[in-house]
């Protein structure tokens, strides 16, 4: 709980810093420091053993001045109100950075899906939609998958919403299976976005991707796709890691072989001897370092030992505030998580657009549109960073906060 309260207060500080730099008044911060709407629901579910269990769920809508709110729903035992609020604020910033017509939203249910049957998960997913149906919809608030939720859960939620509304509403939710109006390219979207950011950062630093030495921390969904994209682009992926350790080869690892061997949890290092620790992995000599695992990996303790020229955050919050300062002072180009991981929400937006017009794009079209969005977003953040002489993280927050602040002002809210 304490950790999530910190996440919430640190997110508030971030927004305050950005608004101060942009020259907005205290009133604007008062409006944006908390979600505009926060719903807590209780969901009674009949479990397989016949007993009734009551679950607690949340939905936060941070700011809808720009358009409907958008954000994932996570099923996790540690979900709490502060976390959901903070993540909805992050989503607002992310949507502002990639210039989508959305504000941020986030939802969650306190549960452990790993101990639940498919039937129980379906009943819980449908119960959640019934509980929040008054405040969500294709023009109000659009959920999506997040931690421990997937396209099947999105499909149940869409079906339940369509029953309640008595019309088919594919645009109510994104991350759906393709047959129910999902988008091509959604699975790989986050990793694709990180890849585009790596390419743009490399251009700014005069590094050729072909032959560049890349280190990827984490070999889950994002990390493994990323390693593959980099490998296919001709980069040398010299190290990868999972929760158990790291593999290193200065001549480049055989990524296809490793992808073949990893288990469903993204674990592969247990098959090898002589592994490195995650700490050693971060300090390897390389051109591009991609933390794609968990938060708080680069800290004041090791920031001075980072040897990469570019650090691209594919995980959420892998670099602490102190470490961000140290890396910037050392001239390392840090591409922050809010920008680097914005590929997912961008393709979610494309899915919603396709649902609204009933016309669907090829994977190639989706990827072209994604590239255009992210190249523009990267340039915007990079130029802000150079012109305002602030680090890339603060620049990203400034770009992210600008759109909802202007919209709130034009609406006469502040």
Catalytic residue set:
106
Helix ranges restricted to H, 54-168: 81-97, 118-132, 151-165
Count CB atoms within 10 A of the CB of residue 362.
Answer: 10
Contact 68, 407 (CB under 8 A): no
Bridge pairing between strands 288-291 and 245-248:
unpaired
- Residue 8 CA to residue 56 CA, distance in Å, equals 20
- Residue 159 CA to residue 168 CA, distance in Å, equals 8
- Residue 79 CA to residue 370 CA, distance in Å, equals 30
- Residue 268 CA to residue 227 CA, distance in Å, equals 14
Count CB atoms within 10 A of the CB of residue 272.
Answer: 13
| Residue 276: DSSP 8-state | B
Contact 387, 328 (CB under 8 A): no
| Residue 277: DSSP 8-state | P
Tell me the torsion sign for CA atoms 355, 87, 316, 111.
negative
- Tokens 């800290």 label which residue? 299
- Residue 377 CA to residue 96 CA, distance in Å, equals 9
Specify burial of residue 374 (Cβ count, 10 A radius: 0-12, 13-18, 19+). buried
Helix-then-strand count for the chain, H and E: 14, 11
Two structure tokens written together for 262? 């990893």
Query: What is the three-class DSSP state of 45?
Result: strand
* Residues in Cβ contact with 160 at an 8 Å cutoff, skipping those fewer than 6 apart: 125, 126, 129, 130
């Amino acid at each position: 709980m304490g950790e999530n309260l910190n996440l919430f207060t640190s997110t508030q500080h971030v927004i305050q810093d950005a608004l101060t730099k942009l020259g907005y008044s205290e009133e604007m911060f008062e409006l944006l420091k908390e979600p505009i709407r926060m719903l807590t629901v209780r969901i009674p579910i009949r479990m397989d053993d016949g007993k009734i269990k009551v679950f607690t769920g949340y939905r936060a809508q941070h700011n809808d001045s720009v358009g409907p709110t958008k954000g994932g729903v996570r099923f996790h035992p540690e979900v709490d109100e502060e976390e959901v609020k903070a993540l909805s604020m992050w989503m607002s910033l992310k949507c502002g950075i990639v210039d989508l017509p959305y504000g941020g939203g986030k939802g969650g249910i306190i549960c452990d899906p790993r101990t639940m049957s498919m039937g129980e998960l379906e009943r819980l997913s449908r119960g959640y939609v019934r509980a929040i149906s008054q405040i969500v919809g294709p023009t109000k608030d659009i959920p999506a998958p997040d931690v421990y939720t997937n396209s099947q859960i999105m499909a149940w939620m869409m079906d339940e919403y369509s029953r309640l509304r008595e019309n088919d509403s594919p645009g109510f939710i994104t991350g759906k299976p393709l047959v129910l109006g999902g988008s091509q390219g959604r699975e790989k979207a986050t990793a694709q976005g990180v890849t585009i950011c790596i390419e743009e950062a490399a251009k700014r630093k005069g590094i050729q991707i072909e032959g560049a030495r890349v280190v990827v921390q984490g070999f889950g969904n994002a990390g493994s796709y990323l390693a593959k994209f980099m490998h296919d682009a001709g980069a040398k992926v010299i190290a990868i890691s999972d929760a158990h350790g790291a593999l290193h080869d200065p001549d480049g690892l055989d990524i296809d072989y490793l992808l073949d061997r990893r288990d469903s949890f993204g674990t592969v290092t247990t098959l090898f001897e002589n592994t490195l620790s995650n700490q050693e992995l971060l300090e390897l000599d390389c051109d591009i370092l991609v933390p794609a695992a968990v938060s708080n990996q680069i800290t004041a303790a090791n920031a001075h030992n980072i040897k990469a020229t570019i650090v691209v955050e594919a995980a959420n919050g892998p670099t602490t505030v102190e470490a961000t300062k140290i890396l910037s002072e050392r001239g390392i180009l840090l591409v922050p998580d809010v920008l680097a991981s914005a590929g997912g929400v961008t393709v979610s937006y494309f899915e919603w657009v396709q649902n609204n017009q009933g016309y669907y794009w090829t994977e190639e079209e989706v990827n072209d549109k994604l590239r255009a969005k992210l190249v523009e977003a990267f340039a915007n953040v990079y130029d802000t960073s150079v012109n305002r002489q602030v680090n890339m993280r603060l620049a990203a927050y400034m770009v992210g906060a600008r759109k909802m602040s202007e919209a709130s002002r034009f609406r006469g809210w502040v």
